[in-house]
Structure 1
Amino acid sequence: MLVLGRKPGEFVMIGKDIKVMVIKTEDGDLRLAIDAPKDIKITRGEILVHD
């Protein structure tokens, strides 16, 4: 696993066409904005984890 520190407005590229950017909301929360082709499936982790 690769662990990176990123500030709001900074991003990482995965391959040539997937961009993951850290954004900050008005509340001060940090969120991820993911720009990827429509044929790439993106699933939140809590959907995959079952107790």
Structure 2
Amino acid sequence: MLVLSRAIGETISIGDDIALHIIELNGSQVKFGVEAPAGVNVHRAEVYQKILERQAAEAPATNP
């Protein structure tokens, strides 16, 4: 895991197409904006986990 320190108004780049913009700091909370191509899905981890669980439940059972 890479840990970075940034100030309000600064940006973190991920590859060529994704940027995290630091918008606001409030105590121990950070508000940031995600700039990514339209085809890239961005979710909070707990939301993404629920999506994966729902997809697994909806997937047809396969017999070996």
Counterpart in the other structure of 1:32: 32
Q: Structure 1: which 5+ runs fail to align?
A: none
Q: In structure 2, what residue type is equivalent to 1:30?
A: V
Q: What is the total number of aligned residue pairs between the two structures?
A: 47
Q: Structure 2: which 5+ runs fail to align?
A: 51-64
Identity of aligned residues (%): 34
Deviations 1:1-44 (A, max 9, x none): 1110111000111111111010027xx46311011001001110
Higher relative CO (Cα under 8 Å, sequence separation at least 6) belongs to 1
TM-score of the superposition, structure 2-length normalised? 0.62
Runs of 4+ in 1 over 3 A off after TM superposition: none
Residue 4 of structure 1: SS of its match in structure 2?
A: coil
TM-score of the superposition, structure 1-length normalised? 0.75
Higher share in helix: 2
